[in-house]
Amino acid sequence: MNIAIIGTGYVGLVTGVCLADRGNHVICVDVDEQKVFAMKGGKIPIYEPGLEEIFKENIQDKRLFFTTSLEEAFKESHLIFLALPTPSGQDGSADLSHVLDVAQAIGKSLKEYKVIVNKSTVPVGTSEKVRDSISQQSRGAPFDVVSNPEFLREGFAVEDFQKPSRIIIGSGSECAVELMRKLYKPYTDRGIPLLVMKERSAELTKYAANAFLATKITFINEMANFCDLTGADIDSVRLGMGYDGRIGHRFLFPGIGYGGSCFPKDVKALISSGKELGYDFQILQTVEAVNKKQKVLLADKLLKYFKGSLKDKKIALWGLSFKANTDDIREASSLDIIEKLLLSGAKISAFDPVAMNNVKKHIGKRIHYTEDMYEALSGAHALLILTEWSEFSQPDFKRILDKIDQKVIFDGRNLLDPKEMKDLGFYYEGIGRKINR
């Protein structure tokens, strides 16, 4: 099929590359001329495991193309995917300006039947707004609008697209649904369920899923904090909980709060949508408030250890991205922790396998960056582990001891073994499990 992808951010690029890899002819549109030029030359703009290889393969095999021209993309496309940013406004609501501006541009160019597929995460009722925006400009040309939410995890996006848990199609049009069934037939033939529902239900399903996962993460973080007070061990607690089939083990790993481009934004948007309709999402407001505190928990623990002052203290940070296997730092706990440490007088030396350039763009040279995880420890009074990169879970402790000034580790991802830390003479605190010298 001929497909246009409008927007080459995280969702748009992964969607375009993976659909091209299934044999479709895909043309991706972005307003950033430099970005489009780079992608045409085979340079991928994001870090995502497994994506670069199929990105280059499909460019070479002439199934994947890039342009800044909307009209060029519309001309031959059966399906037009909107994968545009919907950032949070000051009141937490989703900003739909990018989506609706492109919808108007589609209307002006529309001459024959097209299906406009909303891949962006949008509030309930957005499909109707897109339909109205197109209709105002289209002069009666036929089209349908479909809601097709994405469920991609950063770090596993290619796998999630190629082996989705479910495919959701929100549409009341038989013609549009059949086109979408045809597009996703390679997946449904393998037994992956395709659920057809109304547009509003599809839109809310994405928000509901992300809000529930954010709540689950926040709950286990609350339990971990309570474990610190009671002497219970969160690892034992979460295992005992997870074997209950109604709960499950996934998203029951305590840490320093959720971040990224989805959970924070979607929780805010759902709260805002509720307020517009006079509904008070009390659970989600609490989730948001608890997560805000959790993001700086490690800084609070560190300040307590050093009696409230970090003046002249060098603190090493391992991990800057909001999670492993991505260079995404949006809403990353590391940024909140860095600000609090700097305000407390600390000097910071940091390492991350892929996210350091993004942090440099965000905060500049206010901290020191190292190209080696052990070099960050040189002369440090404490190490904070902020991201669950695999190389941090089995470090060379001899090299740590050779570099670090004080044997102090605060583990925000519970990667290290508390007993081993105690045996090595470290002061060690994780999240919900505390074993000291």
User: Which residues participate in catalysis according to the annotation?
Assistant: 262
Round to whole Å and give the CA distance between 362 and 6: 26
Token pair belonging to 287:
């989730």
Round to whole Å and give the CA distance between 158 and 88: 26
Token pair belonging to 227:
């474990």
In angstroms, how far is CA 15 from the centroid of its own chain?
15
- For CA atoms 403, 406, 411, 412, the dihedral sign is negative
> What angle, rounded to 10 degrees, do the helices at 263-276 and 199-230 form?
120
Round to whole Å and give the CA distance between 408 and 429: 9
Beta bridge pairs of residue 64: 26
Q: Classify strands 434-435 and 427-429 as parallel, antiparallel or unpaired.
A: antiparallel
Round to whole Å and give the CA distance between 89 and 391: 37
What's the DSSP call for residue 57? Answer: H
What's the DSSP call for residue 323? Answer: S
CB atoms within 10 A of CB 216: 17
Element (H, E) at 318: strand 314-318
Round to whole Å and give the CA distance between 15 and 83: 9
Q: Classify strands 194-197 and 167-170 as parallel, antiparallel or unpaired.
A: parallel
Provide the Cα torsion 369, 356, 383, 263; round to 10°: 160
Q: Classify strands 434-435 and 79-82 as parallel, antiparallel or unpaired.
A: unpaired
Token look-up 């995880």 returns 373
The runs of H, that is alpha helices, within 231-281 are 234-242, 263-276
